[in-house]
Amino acid sequence: MRKSLIAVAIGAALTVAACADKEAAQTTEQQAEQQVQQAEQQTAAATFNESNPFYAESTLPFHAPDFTQIEFAHYEPALLAGMEQHTAEIEAIANNPEPATFENTIVAMEKSGALLGRVSSVFGNVAGSAGNDDFRALQVKMAPKYAAHGDNISLNPDLFARVKTVYENRDQFEGEELRLIEDTYKGFVRAGAELNEEQKARIREINSELSSLTTEFRNNLMSLVDENMVVVEDKAELAGLSDSQIAQLAATAEAKDMSGKYVITVTNTTRQPILQSLENRELREKVWRASAERGSGNTATDNRPLVKQMAQLRAEKAQLLGYENWGAYVLEQSMAATPSAAQQMLRDLVPAVVSNVEAEMAEIQQVIDGEGGDFEVQPWDWAYYAEKVRAEKYALDSNEVKQYFEFNRVVEDGVFYAMNQLFGITFEKRDDIPTYADDIVVYEVKDVNGESLGLFYGDWFTRDGKRGGAWMSSFVSQSHLLGNKPVILNNMNITKAPDGEPTLLSFDEVSTMFHEMGHALHGMFSDVTYPSLAGTSVSRDYVEFPSTFQEDWTLNPKVIANMAKHHETGEQIPQELLDKVMAAKNFNMGYDTLEYIAAALLDLEYHTLTPDSAAGIADVNSFEQAALTRNGVAVEAVPPRYKSNFFAHVFAGGYSAGYYAYMWSEVLAADAFKFVQDNGGLTLENGQAFRDAILSKGNSKDPMQQYIDFRGQKPTVDALLERRGLTAPTID
């Protein structure tokens, strides 16, 4: 997953998508700061030796990290030494007396920074999956150093001059080489290489500030989980939960030195899964408020100032680079191309979605009234009463469904089986590959011909120090130039059952597992020469397409027959129950879609501000409410999936001005899946065609052309209508 070596360094180590790169003349103060940083790097390089496991490439299969040797103390000196080595390599390229060529400039840059990339990928992944206060403190310390290191590359006038020379002579190239030349040149320009020195100096300052603020926001999210725990002392208040769920809450309390109590921790979204089952309305409200109000000053950690600062700095940076706003800057290289196109897609959906929500709300209110409830449905009521509507409408008990989705069977007989049927690949456990935490399983992935493709790490369970949500990342990215095969990992936050009990999954968790495997295979099947173009190094509104495509195999009859078996009896899921699951698949879709659209429109509202308008935000919560109202999505009972103060995708990750991408990608995924279904379904032929045209290409070809190569035409929205039962826009 490498957009460039610098993107790996910053993105993997700090989980930040935007990467800046280098400059020449600075103010005296900036020169002094740079000298201090260089001195630090040189000191680290002088003390960095063979005793550090990052000193040389890992000798484990596929260069997998050797976690039997890696200790926390190894990271900082290796990171600093990596920057020093990379700086020297870049200086050698920039000052090469030979005329600039593709090989001695572009390819040389692709080969540079091996040490920094090696340590950054490990540090970033472990910090996000099994971090602690030490990791977070080091992230804070390293954030401005990474930003400065990036700037020292892409704002280097001598280096840019060489890149520009190659770009101006690009007519002699084609295919992947041409794509890399154009991508590299655009990256420099978009980083500010053509700005004057005063503007470059300000870009440096902004990049440093944004890097620090993003890291602070991310680390605050960890703090907010502990600050917003809901502690229950009376077990009776937990009525509606299963014995297993109650035992899990007790175990959480025990781990937090609150023996005899029950602790509910908030997950990353506004909606909390536990609200579906809790009968106690007062406790439901307490849990919902702990989630929805976190980061708003309700506890010691307040993210509101960070939201405002980042919106303002991003707007200022965009204008310095010649763009109207941050959204225009970000989306220039996306399939949507402009914020207005993304906003139009979402706004076109609003009337139909709100209509669905109103119908769903009426059904919920009818249940509340029928039970004698003297209140109107509130956000903390929705999931609880929606489950009652679902049970009545479809006679579907979600806990009954879980009995047929035992974790290990879902992995082995569901996800892996489906990928074998579609691509011919197999997953073989490698117990000899060390991991960074318990409960992680490593597999060697074998191709249809038996050849090794790479390694896959399954890190599926929640743990202290792990950020919320689900994601794919990599320790090693594929590259023929570097001779690397991929080492990929999937992360989820499944709550593991107590010892001796099976871990049973909700249907949503099963679907998410297929989704993340789609990302993993985008990295695993990458077949390109240059690391900057490998795997998932594509635009945000394309990267979710291959993963969303894989979700729909969850309900494929062959896959279901293989994995959906009762965890005690081994009996196949009854057809009647499966029919109910199928019928209920789009249940509550109005709610699901509106909470997503509201968050996506909120993201675009922040990132189409001017610097002055961002600075003029008096109160983040008031801005949020006004933005939702302005877009017609301010439905009190259906808040945004992510509220501003914990919107990790856009303020702590790589989706600023890009959260809309999930819906955009779903248009592609639904259209592609329908095409496959109409042409044989789950077959090796279809899998190979998808792999050849899409999964193997990375960013070596224009995304829409990739899609046309596979599908034979641009996507239409017809399949999305069927998938969601909603009116959707056309993608031009």
What is the spatial distance between Cα 34 and Cα 40, in angstroms, rounded to a whole number? 10
pLDDT at 26: 39
pLDDT at 15: 36
pLDDT category of residue 16 using cuts at 50, 70 and 90: very low
Are 610 and 719 within one domain?
yes
pLDDT at 585: 82
Are 336 and 235 within one domain?
no
pLDDT at 36: 62
Strand ranges, E, within 8-160: none
Tell me the β-bridge partners of 152: 22
Are 272 and 390 within one domain?
no
Residue 183 CB-half CA count within 13 A: 28
pLDDT at 730: 47
pLDDT category of residue 40 using cuts at 50, 70 and 90: low
Question: Token pair for residue 549?
Answer: 């495509």
Lowest mean pLDDT of 128-137, 604-613, 645-654, 720-729, name the range.
720-729
State mean pLDDT over 489-500.
92
What is the spatial distance between Cα 189 and Cα 414, in angstroms, rounded to a whole number? 46
Are 296 and 321 within one domain?
no
Are 639 and 679 within one domain?
yes
Lowest mean pLDDT of 44-48, 284-288, 342-346, 552-556, name the range.
44-48
DSSP state of 72: G
Flag whether pLDDT at 250 surpasses 60: yes
Answer yes or no: is 228 within a domain.
yes
CB 7 within 8 A of CB 477: no
**Region for 501 from its dihedrals, namely left if φ exceeds 0, alpha if ψ lies in -120 to 50, beta otherwise:** beta
Question: Token pair for residue 60?
Answer: 């484990």
Provide the residue range defining the domain that includes 75: 61-193
Flag whether pLDDT at 105 surpasses 80: yes
What is the spatial distance between Cα 482 and Cα 715, in angstroms, rounded to a whole number? 35
Strand order across the 487-494 sheet: 426-429, 441-446, 452-461, 487-494, 471-476
CB 427 within 8 A of CB 416: yes
Are 296 and 315 within one domain?
no
State mean pLDDT over 578-598.
91
Flag whether pLDDT at 160 surpasses 70: yes
pLDDT category of residue 461 using cuts at 50, 70 and 90: very high
What does the angle CA 300 – CA 304 – CA 309 come to, to the nearest 5 degrees? 130
pLDDT category of residue 464 using cuts at 50, 70 and 90: confident
Are 327 and 282 within one domain?
no
Percent of the chain with pLDDT over 70: 93
23, 176, 205, 516: the catalytic one is 516
Flag whether pLDDT at 18 surpasses 60: no
Percent of the chain with pLDDT over 90: 86
Are 289 and 314 within one domain?
no
State mean pLDDT over 113-139.
96
CB 648 within 8 A of CB 269: no
Residues 6+ apart with CB under 8 A from 103: none
Flag whether pLDDT at 35 surpasses 70: no
Query: How many residues are given for the chain?
Result: 732
Flag whether pLDDT at 11 surpasses 80: no
β-pairing, 452-461 vs 262-264, is unpaired
Number of domains in the chain: 3
pLDDT category of residue 43 using cuts at 50, 70 and 90: low
Using DSSP's 3-state secondary structure scheme, residue 357 falls into helix
pLDDT at 38: 62
Question: Token pair for residue 123?
Answer: 């540090």
State mean pLDDT over 217-223.
93
Tell me the β-bridge partners of 429: 443
pLDDT at 44: 61
Answer yes or no: is 431 within a domain.
no
Amino acid at 550: Q
Answer yes or no: is 101 within a domain.
yes
Question: Token pair for residue 170?
Answer: 């690009």
pLDDT category of residue 498 using cuts at 50, 70 and 90: confident
pLDDT one-digit tens code per residue, 300-337: 999 999 999 999 999 999 999 999 999 999 999 999 99
Are 372 and 256 within one domain?
no
pLDDT category of residue 37 using cuts at 50, 70 and 90: low
pLDDT one-digit tens code per residue, 690-732: 999 999 999 999 999 999 999 999 998 788 877 876 644 445 5
Are 616 and 684 within one domain?
yes
pLDDT at 584: 85
State mean pLDDT over 607-624.
97
pLDDT category of residue 34 using cuts at 50, 70 and 90: low
Using DSSP's 3-state secondary structure scheme, residue 146 falls into helix
Flag whether pLDDT at 96 surpasses 70: yes
pLDDT at 21: 26
pLDDT at 17: 30
State mean pLDDT over 44-60.
89
CB 547 within 8 A of CB 695: no
Is residue 516 part of the annotated active site? The answer reads yes
Answer yes or no: is 4 within a domain.
no
What does the angle CA 410 – CA 542 – CA 217 come to, to the nearest 5 degrees? 80
Distance between the two ends of the chain, CA-based, in angstroms?
28
CB atoms within 10 A of CB 499: 6
Indicate which CATH number applies to the domain containing 393.
Answer: 1.10.1370.10
Using DSSP's 3-state secondary structure scheme, residue 454 falls into strand
Answer yes or no: is 642 within a domain.
yes
What is the spatial distance between Cα 586 and Cα 333, in angstroms, rounded to a whole number? 33
Answer yes or no: is 607 within a domain.
yes
State mean pLDDT over 491-520.
94
pLDDT at 41: 60
Of 272, 301, 330, at which residue does a domain stop? 301
State mean pLDDT over 389-406.
90
Are 268 and 387 within one domain?
no
pLDDT at 467: 87
Answer yes or no: is 505 within a domain.
no
CB 615 within 8 A of CB 312: yes
Answer yes or no: is 87 within a domain.
yes
Indicate which CATH number applies to the domain containing 172.
Answer: 1.20.1050.40
Tell me the β-bridge partners of 565: 572
What is the spatial distance between Cα 637 and Cα 379, in angstroms, rounded to a whole number? 4
Are 135 and 245 within one domain?
no
- pLDDT, the chain, mean: 92
Residue 732 CB-half CA count within 13 A: 7
What is the spatial distance between Cα 477 and Cα 489, in angstroms, rounded to a whole number? 11
- Picking from 616, 623, 615, 613, the residue whose alpha carbon sits closest to that of residue 645 is 623
Q: Which pTM was predicted?
A: 0.87
Residues 6+ apart with CB under 8 A from 645: 294, 295, 296, 302, 303, 304, 307, 620, 621
pLDDT category of residue 397 using cuts at 50, 70 and 90: confident
State mean pLDDT over 240-251.
93
Using DSSP's 3-state secondary structure scheme, residue 351 falls into helix
Of 301, 324, 348, at which residue does a domain stop? 301
**Region for 681 from its dihedrals, namely left if φ exceeds 0, alpha if ψ lies in -120 to 50, beta otherwise:** left
Of 301, 333, 358, at which residue does a domain stop? 301
